[in-house]
Amino acid sequence: MRYHVLHTTEYHYSQSVQTARHLLHLVPRPVPWQMLERQALRIDPEPTTRAHGIDVFGNPADRIEFAASHDHLRVESEQTLTVAPRPWLATPTDGPVWEKVRDALDYHASPLGDAIAGAQRMRFESPGVRVKRELEAYAAPSFAAGRPVIDAARDLMRRIHAEFRYDPEATEVGTSVVEVLENRHGVCQDFAHLMIGCLRSLGLAARYVSGYLRTDPLPGQALMTGSDASHAWVAMFVPEIGWIEFDPTNDCLADERHIVLAWGRDFGDVSPIRGVIQGGGEHTLKVGVTVTLVEAGN
């Protein structure tokens, strides 16, 4: 599938901001199944300094700084890219027994392979995802003894989708996973954090994937939830196979509709725009995402 993505973020400040620094995760990271043809990042006003780099999790990151006072910030990110089917979908499998995966990740005082070493980064508590007994308890019915790990995770995803209400008004950036679990509602970010917390509480490795979802429904399918803003889902590590992506907001495995932007331990590592401003008074924020199918097929 070939897409055109336009992601605009606009802040207006009631009083001028004197200095500001922002960290942007708006350029798609290179992954084997995505080909980026064209991308542009337009920033208004022109930043005092601007630097492009790769962050510690391998995501492209742009750092911008404003040393002069300004009353608005508009960031426009535009891409044309092609998404192919995920390679791991070619040979459907339920994966190994989940306890085996957990044991393979445990410490054995012996050298780690690259894949296992990489998975360790996504296995423990992170600033946005606590590891709690409540989460393990919630996951338990899906992770019966001896159940294959992908099958179990799919069941966990299904239950989150069924038992939690999608409600953009209910939560905000920073709502804790435990609150989400108690209140049974949230948005894609909350559901992703919840599922990650559940998997990590079981000793599995799971990461947060930030990206976009195509806006128009596939023929014969309903409009997907979360398509007018940036989207988030979960990837779980399975030895020998790799990272399998689950979208608990839509109860499906990620496919060509899911465009990957960045991944990290949780939202905090990859938030599209994060900034610290001095001054500014009140502000208004407007975010718009449109994902347009340019052509279907590969």
For residue 11, which of 280, 294, 296, 295 has the smallest C-alpha distance?
A: 280
User: What are the helix (H) ranges across the chain?
Assistant: 98-105, 114-120, 133-139, 149-163, 177-183, 188-201, 267-270
Q: Does residue 9 touch another protein according to CB under 8 A?
A: yes
Q: Which is nearer to another protein, 82 or 201 (CB)?
A: 201
Q: What is the maximal distance between C-alpha atoms in the chain? A: 60
Least gap, CB of 168 to another protein (angstroms): 14
Q: Tell me if 287 contacts another protein by CB under 8 A.
A: yes
CB of 295 to another protein, least distance (A): 30
Q: Say how many residues touch another protein, by CB under 8 A.
A: 47
Measured CA to CA, the distance from residue 128 to residue 181 in angstroms comes to 14
- Number of residues that this document lists for the chain: 298
- Cβ(194)–Cβ(188) below 8 Å: no
CA distance 28 to 206: 20
Q: What are phi and psi of 219, to 5 degrees?
A: -50, 130
3 state SS of 208:
strand
To another protein, the closest distance from the beta carbon of 207 in angstroms equals 12
Regarding 121 and contact with another protein (CB under 8 A), the answer is: yes
Sign of CA dihedral 261, 131, 206, 163: negative
Residues 239-278 that bind another protein (CB under 8 A): 265, 268-269, 271-278
Piece of 31-39, 119-127, 147-155, 234-242 that binds another protein (CB under 8 A): 119-127
**Residue 18 interacts with another protein (CB under 8 A)?**
yes
Return the number of the residue (55 or 76) whose C-beta is nearest another protein: 55
Q: Which is nearer to another protein, 192 or 253 (CB)?
A: 192
Q: Is residue 284 involved in binding another protein (CB under 8 A)?
A: no
By the rule CB under 8 A, 112 interacts with another protein:
yes
Site for another protein contains 108 (CB under 8 A): yes
Interface residue with another protein, options 52, 124, 140, 163 (CB under 8 A):
124
Region binding another protein by CB under 8 A among candidate stretches 109-117, 142-150, 190-198, 252-260: 109-117
User: Is 109 near another protein (CB under 8 A)?
Assistant: yes
Using an 8 Å Cβ cutoff, are 79 and 38 in contact?
A: yes
Angle 31-33-37 from CA coordinates, rounded to 5°:
80
Peptide bond into 217 cis (omega under 30): no
Q: Are 177 and 197 in contact (CB under 8 A)?
A: yes
Name the amino acid, one letter, at 220: G
Stretch that binds another protein, among 103-111, 144-152, 250-258, 288-296 (CB under 8 A): 103-111
Query: Which residues inside 29-58 make contact with another protein, applying CB under 8 A?
Result: 48-49, 55-57
Binders of another protein in range 63-102 (CB under 8 A): 63, 65, 67
Pairwise CA distance, residues 79 & 39, whole Å: 4
Q: Of 3, 22, 195, 213, which one interacts with another protein (CB under 8 A)? A: 22
Binding site for another protein (CB under 8 A): 9, 11, 18-19, 21-23, 48-49, 55-57, 63, 65, 67, 106-112, 117, 120-121, 123-125, 127, 133, 173, 265, 268-269, 271-280, 283, 285, 287
